[in-house]
Amino acid sequence: MISLRSALRLRLSLCAALLALDPGIQAAPRGSAASYLSLPPGPEGRIIYYRSFEREKANINIAGLKETFSALPVAEGTRGRAAQAAKGPALDSPALFPHRLLTVSFWWALRAEPDKKSGFGLLRLSNGKGFISHSVRSGLWCGLARSAGAVQVYYLPVIQNINGIYDRDILASLRLGAGEWPHTAVALAAASKAAIYMDRRKVLKARITGRFLGVPGGLTHLTIGSPGSLPVALDEATILNRPLSDDEIATYTLAIRQMHRIKYPLDP
């Protein structure tokens, strides 16, 4: 039986060969999900936002998310250029209400060398007070001696607070040296379930209790790579209006890593 890695290599080789023979093979409308080989192929019809950071604005923004940030270009990302924003890229839209099906996916890299007590934000979905966040925390917070991966659900009326520490020494678990780009995905479903993925692994699965996440007091403000003691660069930010499966996330992550390794041509 062919391995997943071999299948991905075969797929990329076939794509390259077809493009070389007939450039018209990539005839999907420019700006549609199908026109970008960097996107997950299965759920491309469910992509509501995509930004490669090769341009000043989003490549795809079907839901009309309001972008409230300016990005500073970074020379080398997973696929072409990446970007760094001083306060983290922020997006606003009712389409981000987590009572809907939702996946937020992005690649990130630290722009400075971490130490064992470094802290930085990865994702925060909020309404000004209440929030769902994914971050790396350290110090006196929860008595952590080393940087830990954590998910929090806080200050949402009736909903029970969550402090989910899934890795008490995350800097030892991830490859964070120069040129390393970890992948993170957060999938929300059934207005109550959340799954966190780091480099293909599902590191946390949580159920929100007390009430369902609903429109009243809705969380509509999304920050990716929020500020901390370390600046975070971002690449390939994608939002889908459905949760991705474990296999879809694993396949996508392997494909992008393979594209990066062989310097596969960028999307037009």
Q: How far apart are CA 98 and CA 95, in angstroms?
A: 8
With contact defined as beta carbons under 8 Å apart, do 12 and 2 qualify? no
With contact defined as beta carbons under 8 Å apart, do 84 and 71 qualify? yes
Any residues with CB less than 8 A from the CB of 12 and at least 6 apart, and which? 255, 258, 259, 262, 264
pLDDT in tens, 92-127: 888 887 777 889 999 998 888 887 778 888 999 888
pLDDT in tens, 25-55: 233 344 577 788 888 777 777 899 999 988 8
Half-sphere exposure of 191 (CA within 13 A, CB side): 12
**Helices and strands of the chain, counted as H and E runs:** 3, 16
Domain residue spans in the chain? 39-245
Q: How far apart are CA 122 and CA 222, in angstroms?
A: 11
pLDDT in tens, 187-204: 988 777 889 999 999 998
The percentage of the chain sitting over the pLDDT mark of 90, rounded to a whole number, equals 20
Q: What is the DSSP letter of 190?
A: T
CATH of domain 39-245: 2.60.120.200
Half-sphere exposure of 17 (CA within 13 A, CB side): 6
Conformation bin of residue 142: beta by default, left when phi > 0, alpha when psi is -120 to 50: left
CA angle 264, 176, 229 (to 5 degrees): 125
What pLDDT shows up at residue 249? 94
For residue 16, which phi and psi values (nearest 5 degrees)? -65, -40
Better pLDDT: 213 or 52: 52
CA torsion, ordered 161, 147, 239, 79, to nearest 10 deg? 180
Better pLDDT: 111 or 22: 111
Q: How far apart are CA 86 and CA 168, in angstroms?
A: 27
Amino acid at 226: S
With contact defined as beta carbons under 8 Å apart, do 67 and 59 qualify? no
Handedness of CA 29, 32, 38, 39 (dihedral sign): negative
pLDDT in tens, 61-89: 998 999 877 677 776 888 888 888 666 67
> Where does the pLDDT of residue 181 fall: very low under 50, low under 70, confident under 90, or very high at 90 and above?
very high
What value does the mean pLDDT of the chain take?
A: 79
Tell me the three state secondary structure of residue 179: coil
pLDDT at 209 over 60: yes
What pLDDT shows up at residue 142? 67
Q: What would the DSSP string read from start to end of 66-130?
A: EE----EEES--SSS-EEE-TT--EEE-GGG-TTS-EEEEEEEEESS---TT--EEEEEEESSS-
